[in-house]
Amino acid sequence: MPPDGPKSAYELAMERLRQKDREAGVEERPLTDQQKAAIAEARQVYQARMAEREILHRDAMRKAQSHEEIEKLESELARDRDRLASDRDRKIAEIKQPK
């Protein structure tokens, strides 16, 4: 994109964030190939665990007898989904940390 052309709101926001990072002394480092591979693996593990959990959930839903039991299973799935996503995000943040 030409430097004198109009910029999108996204580009302007990213410029402001980069400027704030420079002022705060945050160093921008690209991810290494090893970090990229580790992040991809962490995401695959999350997807596999979530798929397993959803399969178990569907099986339990078929066996559910009451509305309360269905609500309980739905809340358990939501809690597990949040926990797994949190674990994945924490693992990715650890991988991104400079050593």
Range of the domain at 63: 33-96
**Residue 66 covered by a domain:** yes
pLDDT at 1: 46
**Residue 47 covered by a domain:** yes
**Residue 18 covered by a domain:** no
How many folded domains does the chain comprise? 1
pLDDT at 99: 66
- For 55-92, the pLDDT digits (tens) are 999 999 999 999 999 999 999 999 999 999 999 999 99
- For 7-20, the pLDDT digits (tens) are 899 989 988 988 88
**Residue 44 covered by a domain:** yes
The stretches of 1-99 forming alpha helices (DSSP H) are: 9-24, 33-63, 67-96
**Residue 59 covered by a domain:** yes
**Residue 80 covered by a domain:** yes
CA distances 51 to 3, 44, 48, 58, 74, Å, are 45, 10, 5, 11, 15
Instruction: Say if pTM beats, i.e. exceeds, 0.85.
Output: no
**Residue 13 covered by a domain:** no
pLDDT at 54: 96
Statement: residue 5 has pLDDT above 80: no
**Residue 49 covered by a domain:** yes
